[in-house]
Amino acid sequence: MRKLFLLLSFFFVAGAMFANGGGYSKGVLSTSAFQPIGVEQVEMLSELLEINLHIEYADIRIEYVLHNPGKKVTVECGFPAVTEEGNMFAPLPASPPKPKLLEGFSLLSDGKVIPAKLREDQSNVPGHTGRQIESWHVVKIPFGAGQTRHIQVNYRNPYHYSFFSVSDTWSRAAPSLTYAFSAAALWAGPIKQGSVIVNATSVDPAAVQFNHPKRFVGEKGTWKWSFTDFEPTLEDDLVIQTRHGQNGYDGGYVVEGGANEGESHKGGRWMRYAGFTATASSVLTEPDGVEHKAENVADWGRDTAWVEGHKGDGLGESVTLTLKKPAKICRVGIVNGYAKSQELYLANNRVMSLKVRVNDGKPFNVGIPDEYLAYEHFWFDLPKPLEVVKTINLEIDAIYPGSTYKDTAISDIDLLSPLDKAPKIQPVR
């Protein structure tokens, strides 16, 4: 296999400041294929990569078959994580960031757990935020002469995204996942065979985009790509976006699908956040008098929630949204559970299924994934309305049980109204 000079460390320093604005980034920018460190005699016979796309993260499972055609050797292998996290317009910290372990990272060799040591990347620039390899998950795998080993890797990859705001406008890039196949170029010979399976577990399959779309064959939210004698280069690195980017403006306007950073809105879908009030069939009041009222779903926050007040699991309890001004509604966004923290989310019931009624019409069911959301919403589309929407009733039809409490919660709800044309936007000051 042709050996690559892999530029695995790269840096970004924000040099420009925006007036009345700022920005931040979050998540894991890139992970990569398993790679040997200083040993090139072991071959990669196969690689099976399975990616399950959730709303804010991907669960990744990789199976490798590695073969040593030469003498006995112990191979030190590294699995890097490239992060880009923090306020990109704030003063640089005084000390370098601490290395981070990929969430849920585990590695098995022939079914036996091989402990990974977290090694800080020595090429980091102290005090710099931005793109750089923060850490390596390093393991040592012994191979006898002629031995073949089966390796399994599992981890969770939070999507990378960035957010910028200037005066009355903001821009949020599409969440992305990058898997660097190019790292596998350091094994001896090509990857003999392999496949990639991508599942839209809880994201909209229609919004998923690949940087190499012609490689994948998709059906019902699952995409597959198979290869033989694969010699990956930097061009072969896989990039997946799970939804469109967005640009937002003062007045509640948002365009989805246009170019990021406000460069262009061609092909975008203009919408506006619709105001509403909320009432509920029941409300939980704590012994100390704290009331988890229905209005909490309309406060644009995750620190509060509507919690039903039924003695059981809350099945049949509902919250009704009344629009301040009747309008067509195309999408409903839900932050499920008590999302103030992951601990509270898991402790309380979450909604598994909602029975939705528009204007007291015929109900339809919407399934909601059991995922703690720190910054995203779960969105579903309403059927095309024959008339403007006045009320939307959301009834709890099924729940995911909490570990501690039987109270079912919803933290936030957003409504989006479609626009026939782009609104008049006040220029950035």
Concatenated DSSP letters for 67-102?
A: E--SS-EEEEEEEEEEE--EETTSPPPSSPPPP-PP
How many other CB atoms are found less than 10 A from the CB of residue 97?
18
Residues of the chain with pLDDT > 90: what percent? 62
Give pLDDT, residue 18: 36
> Domain 21-243 maps to which CATH number in 2.60.40.3680, 3.40.50.10210, 2.60.40.420, 3.20.20.210?
2.60.40.3680
> Domain 274-418 maps to which CATH number in 2.60.120.260, 3.40.50.460, 3.30.1390.20, 3.40.50.1100?
2.60.120.260
Check whether 398 has a pLDDT greater than 60.
yes
- Most confidently modeled range among 6-15, 63-72, 120-129, 159-168: 63-72
Give pLDDT, residue 128: 38
Q: Specify whether the CB–CB gap between 256 and 269 falls below 8 A.
A: yes
Give pLDDT, residue 370: 98
Confidence band for 189, pLDDT divided at 50, 70 and 90:
very high
Find the mean pLDDT for residues 31-52. Answer: 91
The structure tokens listed for 426 are 């006040």
Residue from 174, 130, 179 nearest 30 by CA: 179
Q: Specify whether the CB–CB gap between 377 and 337 falls below 8 A.
A: no
Check whether 255 has a pLDDT greater than 70.
yes
Residue 40: what are its φ and ψ, rounded to 5°? Answer: -125, 15
Give pLDDT, residue 4: 35
- Most confidently modeled range among 29-43, 165-179, 286-300: 286-300
Find the mean pLDDT for residues 17-40. Answer: 76
Give pLDDT, residue 12: 26
Tell me if residue 260 falls in helix, strand or coil. Answer: helix
Give pLDDT, residue 168: 80
Give pLDDT, residue 88: 56
Long-range contacts of 189-192 (CB under 8 A, 24+ apart): 189/1, 189/43, 189/44, 190/1, 190/229, 190/230, 190/231, 191/44, 191/45, 191/46, 191/47, 191/227, 191/229, 191/230, 191/231, 191/232, 192/43, 192/44, 192/45, 192/46, 192/228, 192/229
Question: Among 209-218, 244-253, 372-381, 389-398, which stretch is predicted with the lowest mean pLDDT?
Answer: 244-253
Domain residue extents for the chain: 21-243, 274-418
Distance from C-alpha of 358 to C-alpha of 387, rounded to nearest angstrom = 10
For residues 17-48, b (16+ Cβ closer than 10 Å) or e, as one string?
eeeeeebbbbbbbbbbbbbbeebebbbbbbbb
Beta strands in 200-316 (DSSP E): 209-210, 217-219, 222-230, 238-241, 246-249, 253-256, 269-273, 276-280, 284-285, 291-292, 306-307
Residues of the chain with pLDDT > 70: what percent? 84
Confidence band for 23, pLDDT divided at 50, 70 and 90:
confident
Find the mean pLDDT for residues 405-418. Answer: 96
Confidence band for 123, pLDDT divided at 50, 70 and 90:
low
Check whether 203 has a pLDDT greater than 70.
yes
Give the sign of the dihedral formed by CA 160, CA 151, CA 223, CA 186: positive
Check whether 324 has a pLDDT greater than 50.
yes
Give pLDDT, residue 16: 31
Distance from C-alpha of 160 to C-alpha of 175, rounded to nearest angstrom = 6
The structure tokens listed for 295 are 């209005």
Are 21-243 and 274-418 in the same CATH fold?
Answer: no
Tell me if residue 389 falls in helix, strand or coil. Answer: strand
Q: Is pLDDT larger for residue 272 or for residue 80?
A: 272
Angle at Cα 406 formed by Cα 402 and Cα 412, nearest 5°?
75
Q: Mean pLDDT over all residues of the chain?
A: 86
Check whether 307 has a pLDDT greater than 60.
yes
Check whether 420 has a pLDDT greater than 80.
yes
Distance from C-alpha of 107 to C-alpha of 138, rounded to nearest angstrom = 10
